């Protein structure tokens, strides 16, 4: 670009000289009455030529800036449109935190439920079949998050969250009475999955309406709820499973979810009108019926996948989330397979989520400084190393409790950044007013990946021997490796081979 600018600069100089010479010749042969007019024209032409030269020179200087500039899409937005702090903005973060404690916190605890069902209600059903429950749950959740994202863009967060809360509460409440595979598929997999999916999109997207410069940090604060939920829900479920029945445990959890999501709905607030481009702001607020029609006409933004940055970002999220959900679902079963108790297995999940608090918040702060993609690549690379070396080469062969605890701590720190940095990465390459739609598009595709990934994981584990689990570890390691490759390609598409750049 600098070369083209320089050529333009030279061409303009040549053109200016030709014009100047021609005007001098014409001036010499022109009648006296035209001399004043031609002199005026010369002055104007010279002024325009100098202005063009100045503009081209500015362009040349601008394009020769150091590589430390940000390439993020959201830097084209006006920072003045975003509060980036204040009481109301952080109340929104608190509401998102409470909601995500339910949505993704329970997702991080799903292994506890899988382990209990495998040993009680579904003890006679193979792992490959019980995996269908959680595969359907994840598929429905991620697919419906598309609708949740579009609904957020058009209806705002509160109406959307209200619908999602109703589905989630009813699904969890009726799961208490399930005893067969088909009943769990219908109640937990489908109804609860719809509720989780509707709530997930708005709770993440609303942060982008209030923060720009501190967006990654705000996402990190909100997604701390993932780890907090992953800590408290396994402890609550274990206590309730032992003291009361499974039915009452699920009923109590459903009311806990209802309270947390109600508080989240009251605290969050969208800013659709404030963040739209000036020319798109409407004087008259559309009615609910009009907004519903717009919502109906809108669909997922598959055209966004034509952008290489968004395409490889989506693939990176797909692979990393498939590895995360698969690990969260089957790691407790791995712990019991190598000879430890259910309480030890559930304790490892609590440890992961405790360490995950730091793994979410610290990378979020760094991401605002060096860019979310740079941090994501680093975190996923260390996750790969942890899976391949500590889990596969050490833990699966030594079967020691020390190796399991060490893996839980290190993996928990690096991998927990997936859920907090993924929205930041999507936001960095998307305009704020379409973030919800793109977020839904990404997680629709991710849901399909995770659905197939969980079924494949259950089939790999099969009878649950240590050899089967070694194969499963290789499978998870391959997923994380593929994720790193996709994020590296994404970064290359945005910046080329430049390293000192915020992206």
Segment 32-43, tens digit of pLDDT? 344 333 334 344
Residue 404 has pLDDT above 50, yes or no: yes
Q: Which two tokens stand for residue 437?
A: 């739609």
**pLDDT, greater one: 105 or 60:** 105
CA distance 379 to 219: 16
pLDDT at 46: 44
490-501 mean pLDDT: 88
pLDDT over 90, % of the chain = 43
Q: Looking at residue 396, what is its pLDDT?
A: 95
Give the pLDDT score at 489: 95
SS3 375: helix
What mean pLDDT value characterizes the chain? 81
pLDDT digits (tens, 9 = 90+) for 172-194: 999 999 999 999 999 999 999 99
Instruction: Measure Cα distances from 4 to 11, 257, 497, 498 in Å.
Output: 11, 59, 21, 20
Distance CA 23, CA 1 (A): 33
Q: H helices within 280-400, ranges in order?
A: 288-297, 308-337, 342-370, 372-385, 396-398
Residue with tokens 């009311």: 255
Give the separation between CA 152 and CA 162, rounded to whole angstroms: 12
**Whole-angstrom distance, CA of residue 364 vs CA of residue 200:** 19
More confident residue, 15 or 193: 193
Q: For residue 3, what are its two tokens? A: 């070369």
pLDDT in tens, 435-446: 777 877 888 899
Structure confidence at residue 275 (pLDDT)? 54
Q: Is the pLDDT of residue 61 over 60?
A: no
Q: What is the predicted pLDDT for the residue at 299? A: 57
Residue 59's pLDDT band, with cuts at 50, 70 and 90, is: very low
């Amino acid at each position: 670009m600098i070369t083209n600018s320089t050529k333009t600069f030279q061409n303009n100089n040549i053109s200016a000289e030709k014009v100047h010479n021609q005007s001098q010749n014409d001036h010499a042969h022109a009648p006296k009455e035209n001399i004043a007019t031609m002199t005026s024209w010369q002055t104007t032409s010279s002024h325009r030529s100098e202005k063009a030269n100045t503009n081209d020179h500015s362009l040349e200087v601008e394009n020769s800036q150091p590589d430390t500039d940000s390439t993020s899409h959201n830097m084209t937005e006006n920072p003045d449109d975003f509060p980036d702090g204040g009481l109301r903005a952080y109340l929104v973060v608190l509401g998102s935190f409470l909601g995500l404690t339910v949505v993704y916190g329970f997702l991080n605890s799903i292994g506890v439920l899988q382990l209990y069902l495998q040993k009680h209600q579904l003890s006679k059903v193979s792992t490959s079949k019980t995996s269908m429950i959680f595969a359907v749950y994840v598929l429905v959740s991620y697919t419906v998050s598309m609708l949740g994202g579009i609904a957020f863009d058009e209806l705002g967060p509160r109406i959307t969250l209200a619908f999602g809360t109703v589905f989630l509460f009813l699904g969890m409440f009726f799961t208490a009475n399930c005893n067969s595979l088909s009943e769990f598929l219908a109640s937990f997999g489908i109804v609860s999955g719809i509720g989780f999916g509707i709530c997930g999109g708005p709770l993440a997207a609303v942060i982008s309406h209030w923060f720009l410069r501190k967006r990654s940090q705000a996402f990190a604060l909100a997604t701390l709820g993932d780890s907090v939920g992953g800590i408290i829900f396994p402890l609550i479920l274990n206590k309730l499973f032992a003291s009361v029945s499974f039915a009452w445990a699920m009923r109590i959890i459903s009311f806990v979810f209802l309270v947390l999501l109600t508080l989240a709905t009251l605290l969050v607030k969208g800013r659709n009108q404030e963040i739209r481009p000036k020319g798109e702001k409407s004087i008259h607020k559309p009615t609910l019926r009009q907004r519903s029609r717009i919502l109906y006409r809108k669909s997922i933004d598959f055209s966004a996948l034509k952008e290489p940055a968004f395409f490889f970002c989506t693939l990176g999220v797909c692979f990393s989330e498939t590895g995360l959900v698969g690990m969260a679902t089957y790691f407790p079963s791995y712990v019991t397979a190598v000879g430890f108790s259910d309480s030890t297995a559930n304790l490892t999940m609590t440890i992961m989520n405790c360490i995950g608090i730091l793994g979410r918040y610290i990378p979020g702060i760094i991401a605002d400084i060096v860019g979310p993609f740079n941090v994501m690549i680093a975190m996923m690379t260390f996750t790969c190393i942890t899976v391949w070396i500590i889990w596969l080469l050490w833990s699966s062969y030594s079967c020691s409790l020390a190796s399991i605890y060490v893996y839980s701590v290190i993996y928990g720190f690096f991998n927990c950044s997936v859920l907090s940095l993924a929205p930041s990465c999507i936001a960095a390459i998307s305009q704020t007013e379409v973030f919800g739609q793109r977020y839904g598009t990404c997680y629709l595709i991710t849901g399909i990946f995770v659905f197939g990934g969980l079924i494949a994981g259950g089939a790999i584990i099969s009878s649950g021997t240590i050899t089967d689990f070694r194969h499963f570890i290789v499978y998870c390691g391959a997923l994380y490796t593929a994720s790193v490759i996709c994020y590296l390609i994404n970064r290359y598409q945005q910046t080329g081979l430049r390293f000192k750049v915020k992206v």
